Amino acid sequence: MSLDNATGLTALKGPLTWTSERRMVLVNNRQFRIKGINWFGFETPDNCVHGLWGGLSKTLTDYLDLLAFHSFNAIRLPFSVKLALALDTTYPEPGFVQADASLSSLTSGQIMEKLVEEAGKRGMMVMLDQHRLDPDRGISDLWYDEGYEEPVILRSWDIMLARFKTHWNVFALDLKNEPHGPCSWGSGEALTDWKAASERIIRHIAAAHPDFRGLFFVSGIWGGGGHWWGGNFRRVREHPVDVGSTGLNRRVVYTPHVYGPDVFPQSYFSSWSFPDNLPAVWDLHWGFLSGVLETAVVVSEWGGFCRGKDAKWQERIARYLREKGMADNFYWCLNPNSGDTGGILLDDWSTMHEQKLKLLRDVQPEPSRLLPLGTRKAPERGAGASGRSEAADYRYELGVPTPAFSLKTSPASQTSGCCGCFGQEARRR
């Protein structure tokens, strides 16, 4: 690590190593402040991120430019296990990439790779999120089912990592989206213990892909009682994830999901003291982690239409995340067609939701920035030779101010209803 005399910015020497320590996400021992967004579609039967279909005028890079302009520095990219197993033989549904001619002949895997590469050019990290097993079904309660047993899950991660681990900006893996139903934590039950399963998955990836130096995001479970799917970490205090290696344990991130009254009418939303009663609820479910463990906690889904009671909820959790030192987050979502939340884009896929953007600036006002300074050729011979060009050094900025608006934005009063999305109406209930 040194100072770039030309820019006055910190230069990090590659390769990049990501860790979760001192309650922070670190890259080469420097704090990386995440301002992230979810962009869904690859986990649906459409087999592509949404917003590129006929009738719209935005290309893949248009959306990435828009996100970069608003200082988003990370994308959580949902995919299905079924797609991962057939990356190079699966194509988007007909008409779903008509707005971007450069994608017209590409497989879903090639489009995903182009997204990752273009995001990297704009200094945006990518987290691969195993969101569904099968796109034709909803979110599975367990990490496997009768059609996708655990060995198949591990194989799907092998395929994804073989394709993406050499991309410098693929910095994290979300191992399983929203465990719920019979999923348990630290129970010792082989068929339901998500903690034990996450440890097995991490060990497998570390052994099979030692050159992947990124993070492992682990969700909680459900358990009823007002928790959200993947948002119950109450047993982590006594049973933290332990992979059996200090180095691997330092790459684990706990990642709760939390939502407001737009998604489901939890009983605590009806309290006379709403929204000031909510910090005690969040403390009980997952907020306590910041006071008992050194592991980073990153909320990887939160959001809503941001109107009426939901707007009060979003304002309160935004304040809570700042106060708890948990400002790293991924907002749900870019897409306006999330049936129970809407997105930071309105239904025209062009107009931005100004109130949501302001909230996100308030939560993470100084997101980090990381860009390659140069490249070097991978070794021609010997272990690890790939022949690919990879980033050698990186320009690192901590606390880059969000630029003033110059793009089309909209006040909350203009937020329109959602278009609906496959499976979204039941995705968290």
Could you list the active site residues? 178, 301
Specify the DSSP class assigned to residue 405.
Answer: P
CB of 123 closer than 8 Å to CB of 372? no
Q: Which helix (H) or strand (E) holds 279?
A: helix 278-282
Specify the DSSP class assigned to residue 276.
Answer: T
Q: What is the torsional sign of CA 388, 389, 392, 395?
A: negative
The Cα 147–Cα 28 span in angstroms is 40
Peptide bond into 92 cis (omega under 30): no
Query: Which string of DSSP letters, residue by residue, matches 90-145?
Result: --PPTTTTTT-GGGTT--HHHHHHHHHHHHHHTT-EEEEEEEES-TTS---SSS-B
Phi-psi region of 28 (alpha: psi -120 to 50; beta: other; left: phi over 0): left
Peptide bond into 419 cis (omega under 30): no
Q: What angle do CA 371, 78, 251 make, to 5 degrees?
A: 60
Amino acid in the structure at residue 363: V
CB of 160 closer than 8 Å to CB of 131? no
CB of 53 closer than 8 Å to CB of 96? yes
